[in-house]
Structures are given as structure tokens and as C-alpha cells.
Structure 1
Amino acid sequence: MGQETSPRKRMENERSIQSKEPKVTNLQKEVGLFSGVCIIVGTIIGSGIFISPKSVLSNTGTVGPCLIIWAACGVLATLGALCLAELGTTITKSGGEYSYLMEAFGPIPAYLFSWASLIVMRPSSFAIVCLSFAEYVCAAFYSGCKPPELVIKCLGAAAIWLIITVNALSAKLGSYVQNFFTTAKMVIVVIIIISGLVLLAQGNTKNFENSFAGTPASVGGISLAFYNGLWAYEGWNQLNYITEELRNPKRNLPLAIMIGIPLVTVCYILVNVSYFTVMTPTELLQSQAVAVTFGDRVLYPASWVVPLFVAFSTIGAANGNCFTTGRIIYVASREGHMLKVLSYISVRRLTPAPAIILFGIIATIYIIPGDINSLVNYFSFATWLFYATTIIGLVVMRFTKKNHQRPIKVPIFIPIFVILISVFLVLAPIITTPAWEYLYCVLFILSGLIFYFLFVYSKFAWAQKISKPVTIFLQMLMEVVPPEKDLE
């Protein structure tokens, strides 16, 4: 007579069976707290702090106000991220601003955000960072002369597709790559900070004397300095785009924000202090690449490490951009705002491969023009327009969706303050340096409504006839399937 199986034995058998079951075809929770901090730090710290902090100094004029601007930008980024932490723990969906705008205001604002992000803001920024990487790598092989533009573009395109391939293959591999490059960039940041503090302790304080003396910056100058500083902090909202892949998001999302952004703020301030320890304001403004000039003066003959680690920094920022942007496209497609195939998941890799590959194609197109920096400058104010709208949505939902569970609830004065600053940042460049390009940018964003009403709202039969065979072909080619369920 057989013995009855004990409850403990039955539980062990059930666990054994469950462990052998295949994972459902959805995005997997592969990102922990450390990886979350690395995504925030790695995406924020790109090439800007190493190459062009002079943009802030040129608008403030003196050292003291310059350092204050860097600190104030860090505070604003932290407050904005805390607002998004409330949204991210209340609406636990990937997609960042897209998901929050959808919940607060409905499909049209959310669609316009995904339209502007997919077509211009994200791929052009991704392309620029990869081109910066290519320039630093090529510089090592073309000593004393400018590398050929074709070589830079080809290497930049190769960098784009290397990153696209990594992120399409595995979310875990993408997070590991992000962890590695974030660690690498922190190495050079620490080297610059320690070198500067040692020189400061040795009495190199001349550039900090009378640091507020001189012509006071104008209101317009301060606003532009603020604007340029915040551009260097861009990326503080990146973790909200992958909430569905974050382990224990209600704990790790706010914790990663409170660790990552203050860490970046302290690093930015200390790096600028190190620069001013070695260079006068005039010398800093004349430098083409501030970190390289610093390395030539302080780290010689080991100054070659600076361009190497700046290249690491740029490729890490590009990887973080790709990792998060693919999720915006994925979520927008899942809501029916883009081709359905863009919301499909790779059967083998469990990644939103079609969305990531489309992002890579558009970014590669932006490699072709000679200079796209001016285009991004005119579209950068649109980023703060969407930030303002998103945080207005937070305030609106405090009244319209009172029953929502809010694991984090920031004091109401914080989102109101961030909204006011965001509106100021949207209007400041238009008022100080009015240009037709800002109008063109607004018209382009609004032109997304044409596609929305033609392909999303109206759902014309002819559009469905075209999209259906395309979806089937891509599904078989890329071995992708619809997600089995929407994650809560």
C-alpha cells in the first residue's frame, strides 16, 4: 500500500513542474535595482558633461552662477522624476509619458507624444550620440587631422545596429551592457573628480576667487543656461519606460530615482569644479572638448584614457536610449496607435524586437544628413512641453481618479512647481530667440493628427487590407507573436 504524499512533497513537486514551464510570451522582469540605477545614470551621463559644459558658462558669465545652475538643474530633475515615480507606481505600465497621457487625457495627446518621439526626438538624439561615439573612436586613428565624414557616419551606423542587435536579442543582455558602460563612465568621472579635488587641495583656487564678480547674467541668459543644463540631465525619466520589466517597481522605481539622479547631480557639480580648478572661464569657453583639455593638462601621458572613456560613455547613453525607446513604440502599438506587429514579442528572445528594429531604421536615416544638431535643438523644447502636460495629468488624476492606489504620493506643491518651470522652459527659447523653426516643430507635431484620424480613429478598410499582409509577413520573418496578456 503506497504512502500518502505529504503536503510538503506535493508543494515541491508543483514547484518542480512550474519551473519547467516555459515563460509566457511577454516582457520579462529582468531589471533589478542596480540595473535600474545604471539605466538612469548611464542614460543621463552621455557626452555632454565631458564635451560642452561651456554652454551653461557662456550664458551665466561667471563661475558661481554656473555651479548654481548645475545644482538647480539636478534638483528640478529629481522633483520631476519624483512626480513620474508617483505616476509609474500608480500606472504600472511601460511607455512612460505615453501611458500616463493615455490614462489622464485619452488617446490623442498620447498618440502625439509617441508620434513626436518615434519620428524625431528619440531617433535623432540616438543618432547624434552614436555619431559622437564615432568621432571619438576615429580621432584615435586620424591623429592631427579631421576624420573623413563618411568614415564617421559608417561607424556611427555600425554603432546603432550593434546596440539594436544587443537589445533585440535579450533584455537581460541589454541591461548587462548598460551596467558595464555605466561602470566604465563612472570610472572616468571619478578620475576627473579626484584629480580636480587633489589640485584644489593643493591651493589651485584662483579661478574660484570672486566667483560672482562680473556682469550679472540677464534673465534670458539664465533661462538659456537652465535650458542647456537640463539638456545634460536629459534621461531622468528613462526608467518609467520599462516599468513592466522592473522587479518590484513600487519599491525599485522610486529608490532607483532617489539614488541615481542625486548621484548624477553630485558628479556634475564636482566635475565642473574640477574643470574650473584647471581652466579659467575663458580657457573653458575656448576649449572644443573640455574633458580632453582637462586630460591633456592633468593626466598626461595617460591623457588617452579620456577619449576612450568618453566613447564608452556615449555608447552607454545610446544603449539606454534604445532600451527605453523600444518600449514606447511597443506600448503605443499595443494600444492600437501603430502597426500591430510593433507590439509583438520575439518567441525566442522575449523582447519587443520589431519595435527596436524600426527605431534603428529611423535612427540610421538621421545619420545621412550632414548636421542634425540644429533640428534637435528646435525640437528639444517639445520635450518639456510633453513633460508639463504629463505632470498636469498627475494633478488632474488626483481629482478624476481618486480611487487609484498611490504607493507614492508627492506633495501637491512639487508637481505644480515643476509644471511652472516646464512652461517657462517651453516659452523661454521662443521669447529670447524667436524663430520660424519653433512654429514648424509645433506644426509637425500637430500633423500627427492626420495620421491618427486616417489610420487609428477611422480605421479605413483599405489601410487594414495593406497592414494585414505586412503584419503576417513580418511575423513569420521575425518569429514574433502577440503578447499573451497585458501585464498589470
Structure 2
Amino acid sequence: MTKVSAAEGLTPKAMEVGESGESVEGESSEGVRLKKELSLLNGVAIIVGVIVGSGIFVSPRLALKFAGSKGMALIVWVLSGFLSMIGALCYAELGTMIPKSGGDYAYISEAFGDLPAFLYLWGALFILVPTGNAITALTFAQNILQPLTPHCEPPKDAVSLIAAIVTCFLTALNCYNVKWVTRVQDSFTAAKILALLVTFFASLWYLFSGHTKNLENIMEGTITDPGQIAIAFYTGLFSYSGWNYLNFVTEELKDPYKNLPRAICISMPVVTLVYALTNVAYFAVLEKNEIMASEAVAVTFSVKILGVFSWIMPLFVALCTFGSLNGAIYTSSRLFFVGARNGHLPVAISLIDVKRLTPVPSLIFMCLVTLLLLMLNDVEALMVYVTAVEAIFIFCSVSGLLWMRYTRPKLMRPIRVNLILPITFLIVCTFLVVCSCFTCPKEVGIGVAFIALGVPIFYVFVMWKDKPSWMLKFCDNFNLTCSKMFLSLPENSKEL
């Protein structure tokens, strides 16, 4: 039986990165630790699988709403993909320069210190990750139930229930076995790309049959207000969100110096092309009013063009969102695992299951927060909310790249991007955040206020060293209870 002491093994051991950029993992290789099991194919599948999820089935309506015309909406989609590619290339340098799991958390910590890193972790813990997962789960449930209620919207309680069930199921799968997770991810990624290509070719058949009126005057009604355009980009960028998720699991990627940039460079053009083709398909088949009135654009598309086979599209959407949620749960749980390992979250979240070598407490905690957010069930507000906060922290990460170019020029950089790329990315991010403040001040304000709330939390729970004995005792008992409950130990610990 595994024995754990409250004094031994429950202190997080952070991995350090020296000036060479190589991780120092400690002397023992026999302890409990995450395995390097992700190949290049797995990396591509994770990026594509996480990106191609709920966004492509939710955002077309919202992008069209704020862009005003089909033509402008297409421009927004392509430019969003281009901007995401620039960001991904910057993250390729960051990921190979700082080969730690945790993504933005690790990069912000290295560049600016503990407080900004904690604020990212705080925002990710309660905004970025669970909100994105909640949107994906709600989209899965919406499209699964839509064929059962073709003439009205599915009941909100039923949607929330199905979303909660799929979230719990995928969390359990991630707790059980990493190999099963990657197999599911590979399979569903291939299925979702096939599904979107079927959508495009069906629309080609529709166009060649002489139905071209929906693509005439596609720039009519274009909105030029900067604030509206910024929100249109938010909806597009939300659909591309996930391009940095592979950076969360760098420590589990085989040969990360080669495979991380390769996976990014393969994935992003594929996703951009698929998204552009899918939007062309929607716009060719559906009129503007039909898109604006639909909560499930893919289902409306299938009813109009596939007839008796329209049930296929909700199935395709379910495949896409299921795979996306699976990949997001897998990668983002490592973020909280790393944060806890570095002392910015309770030690219990950094524990690893001694048999399955998965961060079970981190996965379960993230599942609980996601379940709470499922009760909101307002996809549009959640989308603006999460994208505004994400843009702020991605701005910080890319700023860190420029800052470390100046302060740590000798740090090993297997990939070194041209300075024009991060500067361009920062300018666009600034434009989007500032302009969105005028259009959606409530959502952006709530996000910024919540980030600011993390400052006193940091000083009380992280920086305050002379905590009362009762608080220390409570924390030790909580960590020990979680260790026994989940049969888990900190990284590099040995079974006794």
C-alpha cells in the first residue's frame, strides 16, 4: 500500500530552466512523473482537434452579425487565421526556448516573475479554460438535441445536463489513460476534418446546380465601426483558440525542439483553409437572414442541402466538439498541474496518480469549475468574455518574448522568429482589446476586474509566509487527504 507523509513528498518541485534552455529534472528518473508519449502526429491531432471544435459551428453567425456582410466575415475568418499563425510562430520560439509544460504560465513567469504568472493562472483557472470547455460542451449538447426538437430550441436544462455528462465522461477518460486520450484525439480529428470537407463539397454541388444568388453582392451591408469589427475578430479568434494548447504539454512531447514547431506549422494552415472553405459553404447555401436566425448553423445547413440525410450534420458536429473538448481537458489540466507544482495553487492539484501517471486531482478540479459555468448557458457573452481575457494574456506572453530578447540574449533559441511578427501581433491585440472596450464594456470590464482580484489573492495565499498555524495545518490535511483519496503523489516521488 502507498504511504504518504504530510512532511515528505507534498512540496511541489518546480523544474528549472537554465541559460541553456534545457530543463533540469532532478537526479532520479525513477519517481512518479508524466511520460513523454506524444508524437508529432499526436501533436498535430491535439492542435487541430482542440481548434476545430465548437467555434466553427457557433462563430459564423456571430462573425456575420458584427461584420455585417458575408464578404467581410470571410475576410475576418482568413485574417483571424493569419493572426493565429503569427501567434503560433511566436509561441514556437517560446516553447522551444522554455521547454516547460504550462504554456503562457511558464513564459510569463520566466519573463515577468511570479505575480503576472499567478494572474494568468488565476484567469485561466476561472475564466479561460472552464469557459472554453463549457462553450464546447454546450455546443455538443445543442447539436445532439437539435434533431429531436426540429421546430424549436432544445430545453436549456436538457442542454446543460448533456453538456455536464460529456464533460464528466471525458474527464474520467483523461484520468484513466493518456494513450486512450490520444487515440480518441487522433480518431476524432480525422473524422472532423472529413466532416468539414463533406460540408464544402456538398456546397460545391449546390453551387454547380445553379444556386449562386447567395454569393452575389457579398460585401453588401459591411460594417466599418472599429468596435464592431473588433468583436467580429473576437468571434473568429475564438474559433482558432487552442493553437497554443500544445505548449501546455511540452514536457510530454517527444523531441519538443523539432516536433513543437513542426506541429504548429502543419496544423495552422490546415485549420485556416478548412475554416475558410466551411464558411464559403455556409454562405453559398444559406441566406444572411437564415444564418442570423440560427443557433446551430450546421444543422440549418444540413436541413436545406442534405434533406433526409440531414441527421448526419449534427453527428459531425458532435464528433468535432467531442474531440475538441477531449483535447482541451487533456492539455489544460497540465496548466493547473504545473501551477500547483510551482506553489501557486494547492499542492493537491500537482499530484499524479501512482498507477496511471495522470494528474487526476487537477482534472477533477477543472471538471468541477466547468460544471459550475455550464449553468450560465449564454454562449455569445461567454465568447466575448473569454476572448478578451485571453487576448490580454497572449499579449503578455508575446511581450515576454521581446523582453527576453533584450534581457536574456544568450538563452538558447532553437527557433528565432523575425521581430516583425511579434510586433505586428502586439499591435493587433492592442487594437482589439481597446476597441472592444467601447462595444462590450461590461464583458471586458468583468474580465479585467476578475484579473485584478487575483492581486490580493496572490499576496495573501502565495507571498504571505507567516501564515497562522491553523491555516497551515488545514492545507497539510487537505493535501494529505487528496493524496490518499486519489492514490496520488507529487512528481518525482517514490512509492513507499
Following the alignment from structure 2 to structure 1, what is the Cα–Cα distance between the partners of residues 101 and 242? 15
Q: Which residue in 1 is equivalent to 2:446?
A: 440
Q: CA deviation at 1:139?
A: 3.2
Q: Does 1:321 align with 2:328?
A: yes
Quote the residue 1:345 is aligned against: 352
The residue aligned with 1:3 is none
Q: Deviation per CA, 1:133-165, whole angstroms, max 9, x where unpaired?
A: 222223344454544433332222111110111
Stretch moving more, 122-131 or 468-477: 122-131
Per-residue Cα deviation, 1:256-293 (whole angstroms, up to 9, x for no partner): 11111111100111111111221233332233322112
How far does residue 124 in structure 1 lie from its aligned partner after superposition?
A: 2.3
Equivalent residue for 2:111, pick from 104, 112, 115 = 104
Shift of 1:254: 0.8
Aligned-partner Cα distance in 1 for 2:128–2:105: 14
SS at match of 2:259: helix
Change (3 A) 1:369 1:271: closer
Could you tell me how far apart the structure 2 residues matched to 1:266 and 1:69 are? 13
The corresponding residue for 1:29 is 36
The answer on whether the counterparts of 2:230 and 2:432 sit within 8 Å (CA) in structure 1 is yes
Tell me if the contact between 1:124 and 1:372 (Cα under 8 Å) persists in the aligned partners. no
2:491 counterpart residue number: 483
Q: Which residue, out of 453, 456, 465, partners 2:462?
A: 456
* Cross-structure match for 2:140: 133
AA matched with 1:298: I
Rounded to whole Å, the distance in 2 between the matches of 1:136 and 1:212 is 30
Partner of 1:13: none
Post-superposition shift, 1:372? Answer: 6.7
Report what 1:468 is aligned to. Answer: 476
Question: 2:94 and 2:229 mapped to 1: Cα distance?
Answer: 30
Find the structure with the greater CA-based Rg: 1
What is the CA–CA distance in structure 1 between the aligned matches of 2:324 and 2:56, rounded to whole Å?
12
Query: Counterpart in 1 of 2:21?
Result: none
Within 2, Cα distance between the matches of 1:445 and 1:324?
A: 22
Match of 1:414 in 2: 421
Mapped to 2, the partners of 1:255 and 1:51 lie a distance apart of 29
Residues 25-424 of structure 1 correspond to what in structure 2 (within 5 A)? 25-142=32-149, 144-214=151-221, 217-369=224-376, 371=378, 373-375=380-382, 377-424=384-431
1:247 and 1:200 map into 2 onto residues whose CA distance is 45
Q: Structure 2 CA distance, aligned partners of 1:385 and 1:411?
A: 22
TM-score w.r.t. length of structure 1: 0.90
- Give a deviation string over 1:402-445, Cα, whole Å, max 9, x none: 1111010000110010011111111111023433x533332221
Task: Give the counterpart letter for 2:429 in structure 1.
Answer: S
Aligned length: 464
Q: Matches of 2:352 and 2:222 in 1, distance apart?
A: 57
CA spacing shift, 1:142–1:214, aligned 2, 3 Å: closer
Supply the distance in 2 between the matched residues of 1:445 and 1:467 (Cα, whole angstroms). Answer: 24
**1:324 positional shift:** 1.3
Q: Is residue 128–residue 373 contact of structure 1 (8 Å, CA) maintained in 2?
A: no
SS of 1:235's equivalent in the other structure is coil
Q: Secondary structure at the match of 2:491?
A: coil
Q: Which structure 2 residue ranges, 5 or more long, are not aligned?
A: 1-27
Contact kept? 1:59, 1:217, Cα under 8 Å: no
Deviations 1:188-245 (A, max 9, x none): 1011011122333444433333433555633333222222211111111111111011
Q: Distance in 2 between matches of 1:271 and 1:453?
A: 47
Note the C-alpha offset of 1:386.
0.3
Work out the CA distance in 1 between the residues paired with 2:234 and 2:155.
Answer: 32
More displaced 10-residue stretch of structure 1: 261-270 or 194-203: 194-203
Residue 317 (structure 1) shift:
1.4
Deviation of 1:94 after TM superposition, in Å, equals 0.4
Q: Note closer, same or farther for the CA distance 1:448–1:214 as it changes in structure 2 (3 Å cut).
A: closer
Over the matched positions of the two proteins, sequence identity in percent amounts to: 38
Amino acid at match of 1:453: Y
Instruction: Look up the SS of the partner of 1:28 in the other structure.
Output: coil
User: CA distance change for structure 1 residues 438 and 52 in 2, over 3 Å: closer, same or farther?
Assistant: closer
For residues 422-474 of structure 1, the C-alpha deviation after alignment (integer angstroms, 9 at most, x for no partner) is 11111111023433x53333222111122211111113143322111111111
Deviates more, 1:107-116 or 1:34-43: 34-43
- Stretch moving more, 56-65 or 190-199: 56-65
Q: Quick one: structure 1 residues 293 and 464, their matched pair in 2 at CA, closer, same or farther if it must change by over 3 Å? A: same
Q: Deviations over 1:288-335 (max 9, x none)?
A: 322112211221211100011111111111111111110110110111
Instruction: Decide whether the 8 Å contact of 1:366 with 1:372 is kept in 2.
Output: no
Distance 1:51 1:422 in 2: 22
Distance 1:376 1:451 in 2: 26
- For the residues of structure 1 that align with 2:109 and 2:41, how far apart are their CA atoms? 29
Aligned to 2:17: none
Give distance in 2, aligned partners of 1:352 and 1:253: 22
- The DSSP-based 3-state class of the residue aligned with 2:232 is helix
Question: Unaligned regions of 5+ residues in structure 1, if any?
Answer: 1-20
